[in-house]
Structure 1
């Protein structure tokens, strides 16, 4: 894993507290980012161009191209807590701007892929917030009809110059090799729901599945679990959160006919989802990296409970 400081000076990404965000003229970097992201959307948007392959087969094939490129995230406790805090910020900002669930999920995917390739010093934890802003901004440019300008993002206690945010966007793009059009679980949900032969319940299942997906998003590294795996687990949890192992494997066999589904990983995600859905509520508590790990865990459980109510 490459250290963030080895290839870019964090001085250029400096977090300026108590200073206003620079909302001056947009630099040429924005035009470069927008034009190349547009090419990424066009080059990866031809799902229906190969009629001999099924829709699911093409999605599975596309997501498999990302499976071998990354390694697992660092297990540092502070980074896990910082990641949870970043995800909560992303979800709040998604609601503020009215972004889609796909945008939020895609931004967290960028976040995880980036951290499998670069490390961040604990002493520079503010870089995590800058990273989350840039990831969400890039995801919005990929998914939303109108993406907010960088100064419009509320970064809470941090204030970043627009130029610093653009530099982070470019660093993310170069780190991920400009491969930004990732498959998300939402692309599978309708097909999986239909495969379970509940024609009158498809919309309801899909809606419930979204909550289950975001219920475990803080617990798993999205690099380690393909979108098809998470989608299958969410559909099964939405259809019945108390399936026996035999029934679960039987339903998995049905979904496996749609494409290559990793059964053991699906069962693990299903267990996580159903455990969170039955968890007792706990008092709200924010996940602040400087606080104890006990407070961090309590905040995570509370936010998961809220996400299940989506």
Structure 2
């Protein structure tokens, strides 16, 4: 009998699992070295969990922008209705975009998009949650179509095969604890407030297809930067900005010859537009 285990590399300390306790007083990582190592591993892995190239162009040319928006909105509503973890929602969104980018045909109907969204949420739930959720409860509200369990299960299997059973995605949410861990000079209350605001900002922007072309680390860092810029006094903000800047991958930074007065000198011109979107 073939093994049911997939070929993914599992880490003793998973960089894609964000575990913050309820008062934000603890961390899954015990040292800054552990946190930095996990951050580096995420950077190495994240490209392999991004949608295929030209995905944004495919969404536009196929008229799927609105369908994707509605699917993401349904995921967010399902999170609140079913009390799902943020990790589950970000994983489901990642599965959705990866699958859609790998099937760049123009014959998508809206019922197919809904079926895909349901399958993505069901698989993400089984991967990340600890309780059982019947399929009829997943599709209880805010959908135009209702599907038999057997059809959803077939879609789940198609999804898993297409994704190569690679479910431990690196998403923008994977970086939140890794980024906030190093803000140990802040009070527990302020750290919790910042973490919540960054999470909410990233959740609210899941529906915006403009973000799918950017690396998750850049979107997460940009969201954190926007939040601390609005929340911390200038001296504190500048100190933390220096730290954040060091985390940006070199290929996302602007070279000296590219610098200009109308572009943020930390990020490349392409990445700079993230701040316009967030703003």
Structure-1-length-normalised TM-score:
0.65
CA contact (8 A) 1:236 1:270 kept: no
Q: Which residue of 2 aligns with 1:306?
A: none
Distance verdict in 2 for CA 1:124–1:64, change over 3 Å: closer
Q: Structure 1's 141 and 40: CA in aligned 2 closer, same or farther, altered over 3 A?
A: farther
Alignment partner of 2:171 out of 184, 188, 196: 184
Pair 1:215–1:92, CA change in 2 (3 A): closer
CA distance in 2, matches of 1:52, 1:154: 37
1: distance between equivalents of 2:133 and 2:63?
A: 30
Matched, 1:157 2:144: yes
Structure 2 residue aligned with 1:111: 96
Q: Distance in 1 between matches of 2:54 and 2:12?
A: 28
Distance 2:79 2:14 in 1: 29
Say if 2:279 is the partner of 1:270.
no
Match of 1:65 in 2: 48
CA contact (8 A) 2:194 2:227 kept: yes
Q: 2:75 aligns with which of 83, 90, 101?
A: 90
Unaligned runs of 5+ in 1: 1-31, 275-310
Cα shift readout 1:142-184 (whole Å, capped 9, x = no counterpart):
1111241222222533121111101111111111111111112
Does 2:201 match 1:212? Answer: yes
RMSD of equivalent CA atoms: 3.4
The answer for the alignment partner of 2:10 in structure 1 is 44
Contact 1:212 1:234 in 2 (8 A): yes
Alignment of 1:206-245 (within 5 A): 206-220=195-209, 223-241=212-230
Q: Tell me the distance in 2 between the aligned counterparts of 1:147 and 1:190.
A: 27
Contact 2:88–2:125 (CA under 8 A) maintained in structure 1: yes
Q: Give 3-state SS (helix, strand or coil) of 2:209's partner.
A: coil
SS in 2 for 1:179: coil
Distance 1:58 1:41 in 2: 17
Deviation at 1:58, TM superposition (A): 1.2
* TM-score under structure 2 length normalisation: 0.72
Instruction: Figure out how many residues of one structure are paired with residues of the other and give that number.
Output: 236
Name the residue aligned to 2:155: 168
Once the two structures are superposed, what CA deviation does each residue of 1:233-284 show, in whole Å capped at 9, x if it has no partner? 11111112499xxx9998655224336263335532232122xxxxxxxxxx
Unmatched segments (≥5 aa) in structure 2: 16-32, 253-266
Give the drift of 1:48: 6.2
**Are the counterparts in 2 of residues 82 and 125 from structure 1 also a CA contact under 8 Å?**
yes
1:248-259 correspondence runs (5 A): 253-258=242-247
* Deviates further, 161-170 or 72-81: 72-81
Cα gap change, 1:41/1:206 in structure 2, threshold over 3 Å: closer, same or farther? farther
**CA separation in 2, counterparts of 1:160 and 1:76?**
28
How far apart, CA to CA, are the structure 1 residues paired with 2:207 and 2:90?
11
8 A Cα contact 1:60 1:259, kept in partner: no
